[in-house]
Chain A
Amino acid sequence: MAQIFSPAADTWLRMSLLAALSILAGGTVGIVGFARSSYMTSTEFRPPQPVPFSHRHHAGELGIDCRYCHSGVETSRRAGLPPTETCMTCHSQIWTNASMLEPVRQSLADHQPIPWTRVAKLPDYVFFRHDVHIAKGVGCESCHGRIDQMALTYRAEAFTMEFCLECHRDPTPNLRPQDHITDMAWKPAADARSEGEATAAHEGIRFGELTHCYVCHR
C-alpha cells in the first residue's frame, strides 16, 4: 500500500504552520503598526491653515506667553483659540498691510470667524479638560511638544489612549512646578521622579483613581 504522506509532508506541515503563524503575527504587528503610524495618528502632518501662523515666531522668537492667546487654559476645559480681536491687538499696529494677514482683517471686517483647522484633536468620546491638567502640574509641552519650534503647527504626539494612560497610570515623572507650566524648554532636574513626587504631593494627585473609564469617557 502506497504511503499517503510523502516523507516531506511533515516538513510541509511544519512550514505551513510556521507560515500561518508568521502571517498572523506579521499581520497583527502590521495592523498595530499601521494604526500607530504617523499617517494614521496624523502626527507630523501640517494641515493647511488660512493664515500660515507660526508658533515658532510668536511663542519662540517673540516669547509671547501661551495664555495670551489660549486664555481659557487655566479656567476652562478648552484652552480656546484666540478671537480675531486678539490677533488685531498687535496687527492693527504692525504688518497692517501684509497680504498674509488678509484673512484676519477680513474676519474682523465681515465679523466672520477665521476658519482654522484644528491640529490637536481628540475623539468626541474623550472628555478632556485643560484646566485641571494645568492645575495639577502638566506642562503644555508634555502633550503639544515644542510648539515654540514649529513654524507650522503639527500634532507632536499621537493622541492615542495609550499616550494618555501612560501618564494617568504614573503621573509623577511628567509633573512640573507651577511656574514652569508654559515653559517649553523646561527639563526636569536629574531626578525627575523625586521632583515629580514633590509636585504630586503638593497638588494632591488622586493616584490610582485616574485610570478608570469615567475619568475621560462618559
Chain B
Amino acid sequence: MALPVRYSFRNALVRWRSTLATVLGIALVVFVFVLLQSLAAGIEKSSGNTGDPRNILVVRKGATAESASLISRENFRQIQYFEEIARTERGEPIISADVLVLINLPRRNNGGEANVLLRGVTPRGMELRPQVTLVAGRWFTPGKREVVVSAKLARRFANFDLGESFKSGTAQLTVVGWLDGGGSAFDSECWLDADEARAIFERDMYSSFLIRPKDEVAGTNLIARIENDRRFKLKAEKEVEYYRKQTMTAAPIKWLGGFLAVMMSVGAVFAAMNTMYAAVGARTREIGTLRVLGFRRRAVVVALLIEGGFLAFLGGVLGCALAFYWNGYTTATLGFETFSEIVFQFRVTPLLVIEGLVFAVIVGVIGTLLPAVRASRLPVIVALKSV
C-alpha cells in the first residue's frame, strides 16, 4: 500500500503544472463557497449575539422588526404597572419605551444614500443594553439635538465624525459620540434621547418596549400575559429570541453561495478529471508494473483516489486560507427586516472550514473516480506494452 501512495505523491510533483492548476481551481471554488457562507454566518452571528437573555422585547403583532412596529401610549401606561416587571430601588418599573426612526443619509465619498436606524432611547433602555459602550466622545444630552452614532456606521456615512452634524426632518443633529455594539445588531444603530426623537419625528406612538422582569418565572408569565391580553395586539418575546430570528438577509446570500459552489464544482470536477486522466494516461506502463509486482486493482484505485483527494484537500486548505483572510472584515448591506444599513463581519467559522474541506475532497474524489477505475481495469499486458 505504501509504495503506490508514495508513487502517487512523487507523480503529482512531476506533473506540477496541471497539478497546480487543479489545486488552484478547487481552491477558488472552496474560497467562493466559504466566503459567501461566512458572510451569511456574519449576519446571523451579529444578530444572534444581540440582547440580554433576561430582557423581554415587546413589538406590535405582525411587525417584522422594531422599526416597523407602532405601540400606543395607552398600551405603555397599561403595561408599565404589571407586577412581573422588576423595579429600581426607587420603585420605578424597569421598562424602556423606545422609538425607532429610519433616516435616509448620504454615504461617505458620494456613495449614494442609505437608511440608518435611529433609536430614541431612554436612560433605562441604555442600562438594559450593557453591550453598548461609548468608544469616543460623550453621551448625548437630552434636549440639545445630540446623537451618538455607531463607530462602525461612522466609517460609512458622511457627517458622522465627532462634532459634525446632519439634518433630518426639522432638526439639525450633532454627533457627540461614537458607540460600539460589541459585534451585535446595535452596531447598526444611532442613539438619541427617546422624547427628543418623538418630538423631532412627530411620533405619537412608541416602537417597542424593552422590559426586565423580576425573574425567569415572572418573565414567562409576562410574555403569556401580554400575548393573551385581548386589549393588546402585541408580541412579547425574549430579546435574544427576537434578534436570533432577524436573519432573513442571510438567506439569499446562503442560497447564492450554494448555487455558485455547485456550479463551479462541476467545472472543478472536470478539471480534476482532466488532470487525473492525464496522470493515469501517462503512467499506464507504471501502473501495469505495479500490478505485475502484485498490487491489487483495489490498491491502485485507492492510491489514485488518495492522490486526487489529497490534491483537492490541499486546494480546500488554500481556499479556506484565502477566505480566512477576510475573516472579521466589516461590511454592510441592506437589512431586509429593518430596511436599514446593517453592519456585520465576515465570519469564517470552524464548521464552515470543515464544510469547505469536505466539499473539496468530494470534488477531488469524484473527479478521480473514473480515471482510477479506468486505470485499474487495464489488462496488465496491454498496460505494460504501452509506451
Q: Do A and B bind each other?
A: no
Binding site for B on A (CB under 8 A): none
Binding site for A on B (CB under 8 A): none
